[in-house]
Amino acid sequence: MKDTKTLFQHGTLALLVPGLFDGTIKMDEFMKHGDTGIGTGEGLDGELIVVAGVAYQIDGAGNVNKLDSRFTLPFGNMHFADYQPLKQVDGLDFVNFPENILATGGLANSFFSVKLHGTFKTMQTRSIDKQSKPYHTLAECAGKQHVFDGEDKTGTVIAYYAPQLFNGVAVGGFHSHFLADDLSQGGHILDFTGFSGDVELQVFDNLAQSLPVNDPEFKNHDFSKDDIEGAIKASE
């Protein structure tokens, strides 16, 4: 039976901060943990979104590519979808999205996912080109991101919320990726306006946190010198 109460996470946001971008899980292993998710590829090779069991990469040029099982990731979230209808909205902007969801009450201390499907008057996403070694820091790479602006897009947002206590482990608050139904746009969401459509919610009882404990760079990195909170604020 599929465990719909558990959010799987491989890696941490913290390990991306100093540039530990090596892929430490393969797609075929990653995909065992759900049919819905987000992530990034080795070397920050694009933004990933998994919808209905199909994994897509939005690369640095903005192209939406299907991913094969050999692709590797340093960081990603996956879960088995069991979303419940929460509400319908008409004209919601990204800036009000957190408050709009948290107004439901009793959610702030739990991990949950929100799925939006409908039309977006504007949608601004970003992706990063695949970086090569030696990797720069996440903040330096985020400065080289490509930004894509869409209008009147119909598509899906997969967002994950982590309680503030877990900031650094994950993104404290919301972390949201987009995919247009016609695959004309996708990526990590920087902004959207005028969303009209369905809002669905899935609350998790458990976080299954997987760490790349056999990766030499991860094992031996001194995280005490990294400004994890600052880098997340700057780049997410």
We find the least distance from the C-beta atom of residue 8 to a second copy, in angstroms, to be 9
Which DSSP helix (H) or strand (E) runs through 81? none
CA distance 232 to 215: 23
CA distance 73 to 24: 6
Q: Three-state SS across 130-179?
A: CCCCCCCCHHHHHCCCEEEEEEEEEEEEEEEEECHHHECCECEEEEEEEE
Count interface residues toward a second copy (CB under 8 A): 34
Tell whether residue 201 is a contact of a second copy (CB under 8 A): no
Tell whether residue 86 is a contact of a second copy (CB under 8 A): no
Tell whether residue 209 is a contact of a second copy (CB under 8 A): yes
Would you report the helix, strand and coil content of the chain in percent, each value rounded to 5?
A: 20, 45, 35
Tell whether residue 105 is a contact of a second copy (CB under 8 A): yes
Tell whether residue 221 is a contact of a second copy (CB under 8 A): yes
We find the least distance from the C-beta atom of residue 69 to a second copy, in angstroms, to be 20
We find the least distance from the C-beta atom of residue 110 to a second copy, in angstroms, to be 4
Window of 34-42, 86-94, 142-150, 210-218 that interacts with a second copy by CB under 8 A: 210-218
Contact call for residues 94 and 120 (beta carbons, < 8 A)? no
Window of 76-84, 93-101, 194-202, 213-221 that interacts with a second copy by CB under 8 A: 213-221
Q: Three-state SS across 16-80?
A: HCCCCCCCCEEHHHHHHHCCEEEEECCCCCCEEEEECCEEEEECCCCCEEECCCCCEECEEEEEC
* Residue from 45, 204, 232, 235 binding a second copy (CB under 8 A): 204
* Residue from 86, 89, 102, 169 binding a second copy (CB under 8 A): 169
* Residue from 70, 99, 132, 224 binding a second copy (CB under 8 A): 224
Tell whether residue 98 is a contact of a second copy (CB under 8 A): no
Residues forming contacts to a second copy in the complex (CB under 8 A) are 12, 14, 105-111, 163-166, 168-169, 203-211, 213, 216, 218-224, 228
